[in-house]
Each structure stands twice: as C-alpha cells, then as structure tokens.
Structure 1
C-alpha cells in the first residue's frame, strides 16, 4: 500500500485554483468546524498561531476525513520540525522566510527520504503510516509531499528565479504583510509598489511552471490575484471571520437600545 495521494499537490500541478482559509485558533474543534465550510485548503498556522506539535496533530486528525486539505505552516524552516510535522501526518508544508535557493534546497532535502534527502526513517510507528498499516510509505512518500515556500522579503524577490529553479519546490507563497514591511510600507500591503511587486512575482512563478499563492483578507483582492495567475489563494482568517461577525452582531443588537 503506497502513501496517500496528495490531491492538493495534484490540483496545483494541474493549475486548478484552490481557495483556502487561515486557521489561528490552534484548536481541533475549530478546525473540525472549518473543515465543513467548503474550503479547498486550510492552513494550520504554526508560525503565528499558538500551536505546538500536538495541536497540529489533533487538527490534522479532524481535517483528514473532510474534503479540505490541511496545509501545515511550520514555525521556521528547520529539519527537525519538518520531520515531526510530516510524521504527524502532514502532506503539505508551508515554510516561512525562505530567502535563497540554498535554503529551498535544504527544505526539499528535509522533506524527502534518502537517498534524495535527510528525512529520518522513524515513521513506521507514527500516525503518517497508520502506525505501520501503510507498508510502502517510505518508498512512495517523496512524490506525495508538497513543499510551498514563502517569499516575503526583498531578498527573496531578488532571488526568486533561483528559488523557482529548485526541483522539489511545488509553489511559492507571497507573504504580503512581511514583504510590505521590508519594502518600507509596514501595515500597508496595498501600496502600489508592493502590489506591483506581488503581481510580478505571481506571474514569474507561474511562468516557471510553479504554483503561486497568497493570503488576502478581501474578496476583491482574491479576484485580482486569481486573475493575475495565483493558484492557491487564502481569502480570510478564522479568528478575524469570527471577530468581524461577532462585532457586527453586537453592534446591530445594541442599536435596538438607541
């Protein structure tokens, strides 16, 4: 029995746009709710969300049976956390702060078993193999791991051609918040210079045959980036969706008292 098919990776390879949402609650109950809402992919955010390996594992457990695909954003591009996330059951990883092709190559190696990489062979008793129920996992897993790297600095944009040339990088995610700050526009990712840079990066990524991704908090932004060629687009964040709806409900109800 081989490793499970990574349908998200296959969709990106076929240029099928995927609509997603960020998850920052770090709770399996909230993740289970989000998995019923129809998004193609859901980010378990281990960089800025208050997650640890156990909460990431628990969210993978409730998302896996759903039509949504779990994307795990690790805190940083270190081989040890990549190994743990993969053994916990992640098939798609999003890695922040990738500025150079050398970094990208090391991440590819961290995601792959030898002789192509350095991923440890201790998964036989882990969740990723069904606790030993998938005997052919280690010989088939490399092809089903999807690696997405984040370009979110001027240096990453300068090195984008070299990063895109790295075999094993399936897509590049443009981080608008960090990129705008590094370009001198903190808190203003809508600045014209930033948006022009994002559009150019998306088009360059697609021209290289890789998937381009981004997070936007507006439907207008999603439409724009999809038209530019972005393949995987996140259109919101669970915490902000709840906060916005709750604030509006509170304000509307209190208006009855005026």
Structure 2
C-alpha cells in the first residue's frame, strides 16, 4: 500500500482559498454531518472541545469518505500526545501558542522519526501505517504530514519570522481572540493594534514562502483576511451554527431576549 495522500497539504500547494469549519461537538456523528456539507477542511479541536484520542480517532474515521480534509488541533505541545495523534492517522496537525523557533523546532522533531526527530515507532499497532500495510512508512511518513503552528500571542508575533523560517513548519495559523487578549484588548480583535499585528504575521509568513490561516466566522472578517493574504480560513463553528440556527427558528414563533454578539473567536 502506498503512503496515503494528505489532501489538506495538496490544497495548500495550489494556493487557492480554502474554507473551513471548526468541529467542536467531539463526536463522529456531528463531524460527519459537517463533512458532508462540502467545507474544504475541518478542524477537529482537541484544545477547547471535550475531545480525547479515542473521540478524535472516531472523527477521523467518520470523515474519511468525504472531501473535507481533517486538521487536528492538539491541546498542547506534549510530544507523547502528538505521537498518539499521529499514530491514529492525523496527517495535518495544528499546535496552539507557539512563541519561538525553539518551540517550533521541537514540534517538528515530535512529528519525525529518528534520526530527524523523537517520534516513537508503533509499527503494526497504529492506524497511520495501516497496521504495517504502508510500504516504507518510517522513511516516508514526513511526506504526508503537515504541521501548522499557531501564532496567537504578542511574543509569538515578535518571533514570527524565526517561527515561520523553521524547517518542517508548513503553515502558520493566527488566533485573533488570544492575540487580542494578550495585547490588552479582550473581546476586540478588530482593534487597530491587533489588526496591525495580524498583518505583520501574514506578511512575514508570506516572506518565508508559507501559507497563513485564520479563524473568522463573520463574513466581513473572512473577506478582509482573505484580501490581506490568508489562504485557509475557518468561516464556521459547528456549535455556533447550531445555536444560531436554533435561535433563528425559535424567533419565528416567540419573542426572545436580546442575544449578545461577539467578534471574538
């Protein structure tokens, strides 16, 4: 068996816009529904959603027949967890709060087998190898892996040039909410200072020849970030879509109290 192709990585190479959705329900059933709608990519969130390795595995299996490419976000930088996520078949990994080239390089090593990294060998125990069905997996695994690091803090913005230049980092994803809080503007990612920092990240990552992504559920934000140079943009969150749809339906039949609005995601 040949090494499975990573559709997300292939789409990045084409440099075309990629519209995605956050999957936060932590169940294969809900994530499969979203995959069936045609988003280019889905973020299976292991950081803020109540996910575990088994629930992430179930979602990877559920979306496998569809064209939506799964991206898995880990809760932290733990190389042991990263090993597990790769072993269950994660091909595209997003890691939050990367603030230095040293952290980025450590994440690259966590995704590589020796002598280029520290990933442990699972062999026939793991889904990634198709239980030893993939020919020469140990030498070829890196070809199908895509590492996305998140820059979402003032320190990360300061170090973004070195982070983006790190060999093995395939793309950078901006977190507007955390960045705005870290810069002293909680709930206001549209503040000019935050927007300036976001533009700096985009320009710097592009100068390194790598793509940039961002979370922007509001259309006007998504269109603006696309114009600024973001290629892969998450324009929906499944939980928010359910809640908004439910409120819209209920409002047809009864008067509802005013709902708070936010631009922070």
**TM-score, with normalisation over the residues of structure 2?**
0.94
2-side partners of 1:32 and 1:108: how far apart? 29
Q: Flag structure 2 segments of 5+ consecutive residues without an equivalent.
A: 256-265
- What SS does the corresponding residue of 2:254 show, helix, strand or coil? helix
- Determine whether 1:160 maps to 2:170: no
The equivalent of 2:219 in structure 1 is 219
Instruction: Give the ranges of 4+ consecutive aligned residues of structure 1 lying more than 3 Å apart after TM superposition.
Output: none
2-side partners of 1:83 and 1:58: how far apart? 17
- Determine whether 1:81 maps to 2:81: yes
Residue deviations 1:204-240 (CA, integer Å, cap 9, x gap): 2112101101001211111111111111100021000
- What SS does the corresponding residue of 2:48 show, helix, strand or coil? coil
1-side partners of 2:49 and 2:89: how far apart? 19
2-side partners of 1:196 and 1:246: how far apart? 36
2-side partners of 1:151 and 1:123: how far apart? 33
1:222-241 matches, within 5 Å, as 222-241=222-241
Residue deviations 1:118-146 (CA, integer Å, cap 9, x gap): 11111422111222222322221111100
Give 1:27 deviation, angstroms: 0.7
2-side partners of 1:114 and 1:2: how far apart? 21
- Determine whether 1:192 maps to 2:229: no
Give 1:71 deviation, angstroms: 0.3
**TM-score, with normalisation over the residues of structure 1?**
0.96
Q: Flag structure 1 segments of 5+ consecutive residues without an equivalent.
A: none
The equivalent of 1:130 in structure 2 is 130
2-side partners of 1:66 and 1:143: how far apart? 22
- Determine whether 1:46 maps to 2:69: no
The equivalent of 1:207 in structure 2 is 207
The equivalent of 1:107 in structure 2 is 107
Q: CA RMSD in A?
A: 1.1
- What SS does the corresponding residue of 1:81 show, helix, strand or coil? helix
The equivalent of 2:92 in structure 1 is 92
The equivalent of 1:120 in structure 2 is 120
Paired residues in the alignment total 255
